[in-house]
Amino acid sequence: MKVLIFGSKGMLGSDLMSVFKEYDPVGYDKDELDILDEISVNAKLDELSPDVVINATGFTAVDDAESKEGFEQAMKLNGLAVGFLADACNRRGVTLVHFSTDYVFDGRKKGDYRETDDGNPINRYGESKFLGEQLLTQKARNFYLVRTSWLFGKHGKNFVTTMLELARRGESLKVVNDQVGKPTWTMDLAESVLTLLIEARPFGVYHIVNEEAVSWYDFALEIFEAAGVKADTRPIGSEEARRAARRPRNSVLANTKFPPLRSHKEALQNYLSTL
């Protein structure tokens, strides 16, 4: 299996490179290859003739996407680039793995979001990711669209390290308690993608997340307990947080097509042991 990974130095991409190491993956990050450069990307596909392309790139600054400039960049990276990449892979018969987010949903559903639920984003970041989903499904046949949520990993800034850093500085923390989702370790996600490919699971949409839903506030408490850190932490509502982008209150993804992953609490313990 010849594997090409875009976004290879990011939080998820780094773990993908590690998990796929026995296949000698070729990886490119944004400073090495601009995924918006169609000519260069097509040239790499022709040069390497991969069996699988994994797209771990993307604009991830949710609040920045609310600005005009940020939204334009998000739509290019999370939307239009995905469509062009899907078309390029489809013409060559290459399997494409692409990642999306719980933020394509509006958070108003009473139960968990299933793979078949329609997207209805409430912020501009979600709009850009939803556009990428639509273009992928329109232009590609052999694809895995993997939705995931609340990622934490060793190779990038994330909620876990942010909470620990603030706590160790002795700051009083206010964390929202009315947004619920499933925290997911990038290493577990990367290993699941390898399983998808090795087992040749049917193409389509998958929700791959560590199990057990939790609020951001309760997750923060779990982090402090697991790390043995004391922190002055107070729950607040979304309105008090005053973020530029609205967040869905319910971000819980139901995994109905793939073997359930372990608890996020167990994954968190493993992750902390790597820091």
Q: Tokens standing for 132?
A: 């990428």
Q: Tokens standing for 227?
A: 């790390």
The position carrying tokens 């009473």 is 110
Q: Exactly one of 103, 113, 125, 144 is catalytic; name it.
A: 125
The position carrying tokens 């209150």 is 249
**How many Å separate Cα 219 from the centre of its chain?**
18
Residue 125 a catalytic site member: yes
Q: Could you give the residue ranges of the DSSP H alpha helices within 51-106?
A: 68-74, 81-92
| Measured torsion, CA atoms of residues 237, 263, 196, 19, in degrees rounded to the nearest 10 | 100
228: Cβ contacts below 8 Å, ≥ 6 apart: none
Q: Tokens standing for 269?
A: 């313990």
User: Beta partners for 3?
Assistant: 52
**Element of type H or E holding 70:** helix 68-74
The residues that are catalytic are: 125
